[in-house]
């Protein structure tokens, strides 16, 4: 019980803060608006920390690609499998929110709505989305995607520099560790900050606020459980036929319980490595795929990301069904899936990314954080256990007929 509380400590405190804030909003009414500055301070700290945090996380991860991780065929196929499953999860969620739309039950102020009205991407805006004219402009959260691209280039530049770039690589690693801990410190006041902001939301928007969250949770858990049971079985069937499906589920229960019990993809790595061995995955592919998958492969985060976008769009009275919106959502989902892995509380960073990309004001962040917090357990289940079935797929595509031949008895 103590271990369970320790693993879910952050979520429990956030939910506690939200509940207390909600009660305060109901009891205090309009007077709860005085708590808004507390929430604003928390949001501002997040926005200030997110740019260097994401830069160091991405650039250091790429700069550290050495040894077996450079096996081109495995890396190429692994990237394709990771990308495909993340996009399938995102598309499934888009279909779900289209069939069971998040209705606009909560209205933002007309001033904020007018700020967003009529905004469409022009050619110049597309250019500004991916690049900036000056280096210092990369430090603004409004240019987050451009900063991510620059971080990727920095990582590969460090990698190509070889021994001459070792000192800079150590700087990137040190920066990554420092800002991860800064983010952990900021999130310690998350229950207070979110509680204050939720009190403000309840006071201003009223009890109808809860309808959106309940409806969204239903969609999130429904899609996640369906994806877990159906699509993981499909992936296992592609990898090894009916015997692959049987072997996958026979050995997936321990990783599943570990993921839910620890609420951590990283903590599930040992269980996944053992399970993948029993599933017939080669030690080399498992040794590359499982650790990298724990960081980069996030099917559950993909579902969570799209759901949070749909909720924010509904709350701001904007449509979430135009081609350009959906394409950007898919792109942001892939980025979020990569960013979340190497950063504590990375889901919050992902929310900052899509809010910046779509041009929403800071008021859009608390609802996104709340949705992410509420469906985090099932998202972690998909994030962690999706790595073993991905390893099966990768082994199948890397070794082809040899995979089937060598695993007849293992898969039988």
What is d(CA 340, CA 333) in angstroms, rounded to the nearest whole number? 10
Number of H helices, E strands in the chain: 20, 0
Pick from 71-75, 152-156, 246-250, 382-386: least confident: 71-75
pLDDT digit string, tens, across residues 230-279: 999 999 999 988 988 999 999 998 888 888 766 778 778 888 888 998 89
- Between 223 and 12, name the one with better pLDDT: 223
Whether the per-residue pLDDT at 390 is higher than 70: the answer is: yes
- Closest C-alpha to 52, from 169, 182, 157, 159: 182
Instruction: Report the 10 Å Cβ neighbour count for 5.
Output: 9
Pick from 64-68, 83-87, 119-123, 287-291: least confident: 119-123
Helix axes 9-28, 190-205, angle to 10 degrees: 30
Contact 213, 372 (CB under 8 A): no
Tokens of 263: 């609420």
Q: What's the whole-number mean pLDDT along residues 30-44?
A: 84
Handedness of CA 73, 298, 268, 234 (dihedral sign): negative
Contact 339, 353 (CB under 8 A): yes
What is d(CA 191, CA 174) in angstroms, rounded to the nearest whole number? 28
SS (H, E, C) 103-128: CCCCCCCHHHHHHHCCCCCCHHHHHH
Name the burial class of residue 238, with classes exposed (0-12), middle (13-18) and buried (19+) by CB atoms within 10 angstroms of its CB: middle
**Residue 321 neighbours by CB under 8 Å, 6+ apart:** 98
Pick from 87-96, 202-211, 293-302, 307-316: least confident: 202-211
**Residue 367 neighbours by CB under 8 Å, 6+ apart:** 201, 212, 213, 308, 311, 312, 315
Tokens of 248: 């996958």
Contact 24, 191 (CB under 8 A): no
Whether the per-residue pLDDT at 1 is higher than 90: the answer is: no
**Residue 278 neighbours by CB under 8 Å, 6+ apart:** 247, 250, 251, 410
pLDDT, residue 318, reads 84
Whether the per-residue pLDDT at 68 is higher than 50: the answer is: no
Distance of CA 288 to the CA centre of its chain: 21
Number of residues in the chain: 412
Q: What's the whole-number mean pLDDT along residues 153-159?
A: 89
Contact 400, 243 (CB under 8 A): no
């Amino acid at each position: 019980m103590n271990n369970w509380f320790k693993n879910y400590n952050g979520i429990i405190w956030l939910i506690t803060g939200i509940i207390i804030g909600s009660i305060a909003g109901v009891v205090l009414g309009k007077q709860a608006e005085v708590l808004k500055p507390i929430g604003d301070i928390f949001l501002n700290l997040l926005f200030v920390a997110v740019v260097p945090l994401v830069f160091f996380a991405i650039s250091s991860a790429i700069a550290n690609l050495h040894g077996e991780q450079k096996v081109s065929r495995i890396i190429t196929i692994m990237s394709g499998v990771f990308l495909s499953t993340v996009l399938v999860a995102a598309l499934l969620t888009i279909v779900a929110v289209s069939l069971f739309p998040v209705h606009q039950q909560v209205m933002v102020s007309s001033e904020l709505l007018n700020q967003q009205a009529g905004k469409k991407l022009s050619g110049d805006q597309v250019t500004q989305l991916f690049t900036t004219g000056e280096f210092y402009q990369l430090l603004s959260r409004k240019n987050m995607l451009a900063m991510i691209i620059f971080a990727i280039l920095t990582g590969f530049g460090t990698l190509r520099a070889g021994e001459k770039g070792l000192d800079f690589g150590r700087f990137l690693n040190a920066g990554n560790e420092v800002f991860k801990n800064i983010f952990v410190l900021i999130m310690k006041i998350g229950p207070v900050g979110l509680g204050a902001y939720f009190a403000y939301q309840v006071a201003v928007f009223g009890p109808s606020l809860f309808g959106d969250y309940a409806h969204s949770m239903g969609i999130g858990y429904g899609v996640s459980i369906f994806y877990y049971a159906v699509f993981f079985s499909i992936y296992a069937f592609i990898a090894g036929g009916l015997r692959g499906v049987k072997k996958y589920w026979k050995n997936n229960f321990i990783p599943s319980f570990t993921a839910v019990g620890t609420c951590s993809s990283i903590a599930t790595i040992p269980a996944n490595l053992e399970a993948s061995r029993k599933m017939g995955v080669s030690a080399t592919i498992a040794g590359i795929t499982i650790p990298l998958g724990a960081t980069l492969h996030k099917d559950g985060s993909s579902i969570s990301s799209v759901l949070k976008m749909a909720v924010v769009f509904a709350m701001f009275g904007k449509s979430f069904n135009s081609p350009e919106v959906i394409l950007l959502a898919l792109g942001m989902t892939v980025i979020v899936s990569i960013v979340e892995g190497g950063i504590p509380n990375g889901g919050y960073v992902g929310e900052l990314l899509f809010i910046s990309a779509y041009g929403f004001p800071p008021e859009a962040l608390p609802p996104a954080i709340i949705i992410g917090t509420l469906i985090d357990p099932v998202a972690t289940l998909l994030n962690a256990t999706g790595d073993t079935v991905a390893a099966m797929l990768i082994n199948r595509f890397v070794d082809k007929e040899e995979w089937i031949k060598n695993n007849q008895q293992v898969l039988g």
